Structure 1
């Protein structure tokens, strides 16, 4: 079964997101953990959370994904910015325990001229301060496009971060199709080769989710501009191969394409039609 959803606004609450997902024939969704350009977060409404948990059980949602705000930079050269990232992520992970067993995704950040090795060390140190053996949330590092001094556009960088984390069982990766293609991994012409490299470097056991996005820019551009499915340089045929690949087809797919809800509904319908059931 194809587990697919899109990014939904959390402004009207958790149950509303679940109902919106069902309205477009999705069985999962992604949401921002708080204001994506700031730090404010709504108070947890336990009844609302419980209503979503009941809906997810009733309609067999496999898992959902919370996305950390874009403002965080866990490997900034400024200590106050790193401390801010740690504070926000700690609070997010505590809040995620109201929705146990789900996913929390973040951008590794930009080393801002310090060099990737120092950036990797700082990200690892932050994660080791945050992760507890008791948490049920899996933290995902997102693959990045390689803009500027971004950490995470190379599989080796993500592997080094995970390798340095004490509780590796709480860590995973979210592979963004636009980002990896823009970073220079040819998922259009060599999907098997890219996945083999991922497996040899990080391990496919750490791959927990897919951001399914087309790209507005050509291969290896390091630009990171998402496009609607089938309307970019990756193309629909490559997307079909991705959702049907034996190593990927069981994973949850999250659309982050430039769409309104009706556009997501059309993309989900098209992808479901192209999915080959077992």
Structure 2
């Protein structure tokens, strides 16, 4: 079982790897730049090489770079969509210093254009930024469906995947809070939800899981994360996700509202729960 949390990249790449180890984590997630947008710091090639060495020595699972929240690949305003395209191009070029890992992004919001238009725009951006040479897999994240979000259903994600020419360069990140808030009842019917995912998208496309509890009930479309075991999903259901035969070898990333010490305790609690369940 590979589990980690979202870490601040302010101290550098190797610092994040060491911080993950201090929390008994063997994966982690970080923002490629300020989550509200802006220019990214220059890549330190030696720092990246040191992280790669540490990850190899400690048998890390793939790590996840998260695009900024302001990235909207299906924006109505051309300048906003252009920002998404250029940011993704830059981020994917930078990720070549950490080959074999993941780049996750929220598909975006169609802001009144309609889901089909939004899906087409996301496909266009992906077909422009993806290259045969890249060593990073780009992940579409499952969304809660608040407002005009695209990716609120497995079918919408499948439609995007179907339009991407370099299909081997893309996959999906399943967020437990998001799918629960979107109406997929992983508490009472995890097998049914995963069977539906497999039927619509294919479990072979699932590369990582954001393991978050939810402050809201199933189908609320709210997207408000809670610490593991403290929300409406609960520890028992999250443990079933961690230990499910179709998921247990994936990287699990915590995006819960805790500090580093809190995440270390959360990881310990989840590892113990998974061990007891096994």
TM-score of Structure 1 vs Structure 2, range by shorter chain: over 0.9
> What does residue 220 of structure 2 align with?
221
Q: How many matched pairs?
A: 277
Superposed CA deviations along residues 149-180 of structure 1, whole A, max 9, x for unmatched, are 00001000000000000010111000000000
> What aligned pairs does 1:23-38 form with structure 2 within 5 A after superposition?
23-38=22-37
**CA–CA distance in 2 between the matches of 1:62 and 1:267?**
19
**TM-score, reference length from structure 2:** 0.98
> What does residue 267 of structure 2 align with?
268
> What aligned pairs does 1:49-68 form with structure 2 within 5 A after superposition?
49-68=48-67
Superposed CA deviations along residues 187-209 of structure 1, whole A, max 9, x for unmatched, are 00000000000000000000000
The alpha-carbon deviation at position 98 of structure 1 amounts to: 0.4
Unaligned stretches of 5+ residues in structure 1 = none
SS at match of 2:252: strand
**CA–CA distance in 1 between the matches of 2:273 and 2:169?**
33
> What aligned pairs does 1:7-26 form with structure 2 within 5 A after superposition?
7-26=6-25
**CA–CA distance in 2 between the matches of 1:134 and 1:275?**
38
> What does residue 202 of structure 1 align with?
201
> What does residue 169 of structure 1 align with?
168
Unaligned stretches of 5+ residues in structure 2 = none
> What does residue 156 of structure 1 align with?
155
The alpha-carbon deviation at position 246 of structure 1 amounts to: 0.5
**CA–CA distance in 2 between the matches of 1:40 and 1:131?**
21
**CA–CA distance in 2 between the matches of 1:41 and 1:153?**
29
Q: Which runs of 4+ in 1 moved over 4 A?
A: none
**CA–CA distance in 2 between the matches of 1:163 and 1:139?**
14
**TM-score, reference length from structure 1:** 0.98
> Would you say the 8 A contact 1:39–1:88 is kept in 2?
no
